[in-house]
Every structure is written in structure tokens, then in C-alpha cells.
Amino acid sequence: MSEMYQAEQAPGFCPYRRDVRYVANAIEAPIHPLLSRLSFIPDVQHWGMPFRRGAFAISREDFAVIARAMGLCLNA
């Protein structure tokens, strides 16, 4: 996992960032079929609320659910 760092986006505005690496063979996965299987979604009706807080960690199990939905196999 990459480390978080601050970058100046505008004078006086230095948000935190994290470098990411995209996987070329991933497919787009709809969120609604996954909602009841993700532990960080406490209320399916308001599933977007956890994302309002910005960056947050998810469990290995949740990561695997999302990865499989995107057609990716995880190496053990």
C-alpha cells in the first residue's frame, strides 16, 4: 500500500493523496449487488455515507468481494 502525502493543489490547499496503480484487465462492477456483502456498508439504503469521510481502510474480505466482482483473481 502506498503512503499518504500532502500535495499543494492551490495556494493554502494541501489535501492528502495516495498513489494508486490501476489493473488493466479489471471490469466495471455495479455496486448494488455487492452492498449487502460489504462490512463497511452498515445501511444499504444510505450506502454512500461511508465514502463521505474520504479515504478509509477496508477489510481483506471486502477487498476480495470487490476484486471478484471486477473479474480479478487474488493471489494468496
What's the pLDDT tens digit per position in 30-71? 999 999 999 999 999 999 999 998 778 999 999 999 999 999
Domains in the chain: boundaries = 24-76
Q: With contact defined as beta carbons under 8 Å apart, do 24 and 32 qualify?
A: no
pTM of this structure: 0.75
Do you know the residue count of the chain? 76
Tell me which DSSP letter residue 64 carries: H
Give, in order, the Cα–Cα distances in Å from 42 to each of 14, 21, 47: 31, 28, 8
Rg (CA), the chain: 15
Residue 23 C-alpha from the chain's centroid: 14
